[in-house]
Chains A and B, each alone.
Chain A
């Protein structure tokens, strides 16, 4: 697609970074993000549930063993970081890791594959990687943010939580500063979570698009190493999102 007629380079890039949108103003829906993330979620969690339903405590099959490895990795991380009743936190961490990993993995598809397939059906824009859409990353981080407050109030009760907000870390005399610190700290959590994932994936996708602009016979020189490196990136980003969520929720459970 490097020199297709009628498309300038910037148009090509712009085309690849435009979502398929429906609606006006704020009430716009990025159809590609919604459909891809929901479909992949359905697929991968359906697979997990299917394996889980017929999970045996005897000798596991290869698929079950693979899923068990992922699950035990998550369980170990939660156990190491999170002290207390981890009933809901561990499944949440697994959901985050698996979903983000799967969505990130869309990055490894050739950048033109999904737009071409969808183009054949008359759809003009299709961003294949949902995690390059800040709507998705912010939706996840804000859900985590909501859970942080939910557990803060559930564990410490409203009074205990307010007391902590006003007295930590400088003591009661410095209450306004404590409050200010707390606001900044808590706002930084969802913003950093969402922007880290979005930034990494967006930049990675951008590099793939730029590589796709090279002559066909040169693309593999940069494309292959970048894709291989990206296997690390997509796993790492999924892992970071998961581990930070565990840490934030662990902090919500513990008093300062």
Chain B
């Protein structure tokens, strides 16, 4: 664990807070730059090139611009909720950093129930979103906030259930223990379905494409943030990218074996950091990739997918995991059950898409007749 000056707990905690803040801002700016660059390459564009070498200073320039901007509050806005909303989004993201395991020894504070803590804290930001939407006194903002609330609460369930699958296997909610158990077999091989669940609902939790309906520019012009400007808006942005980073590290920790797989605990700390960063980058790249590939879902499709497909299948997975673990059946059955559920999911999606097409064709025929 990071302990700069253990002698004085106040200075120690102050330094920890400062390092989290520094890490947050720097990583958020880096991620914004990377997202712009990578999305640009996916669009066969160049992305930022003008500010600094290869546009590296673009995020710094943006940050300076945002800080220098006027902080406008609409006259009809609800002052308290409008002003406080950014903190309600920002602080949970900040608090999630506490128990994130970068390496075996390097994290701020290893909690025994770290996973539960992260899941609990991450859902607090929904309050901030709703406050922002309500406080702005703007229809787009309110619609966006309600969408965010509906989506956030719905997808919280598959997220928790997929985490539960992993916790059942690991018999622990301590992230370091979960990682340490993956030295030989990462959890993604045992529970590919849980990985899919977690990835999907993490995308929905972060309001990223294809689940970005709360902030969809073409529908609600930016959702709850329409009325925000300057430093407050940048706080939302910072929280968003911090959440992206944390969720990616969490995916790495839960499913890809974090610092442990495939070299075990004997690896030096710096190599462990490198391993974590590499895996996290891969996950983040995957998230960007999904963003540029998949179109935005409709809100009813989103809700149907969550409540009718993901949650029942997740419950079945937990039930099967329970059976296998309680009766001490061979471990590979976990993987078999998970792959079977994955197949069921693919079948369901294909079936629903066929129905969509069929309805579409029937409707077109009716219209043409």
Chain A partners chain B: no
Q: Which residues of B pack against A, CB within 8 Å?
A: none
* A contacts, CB < 8 Å to B: none
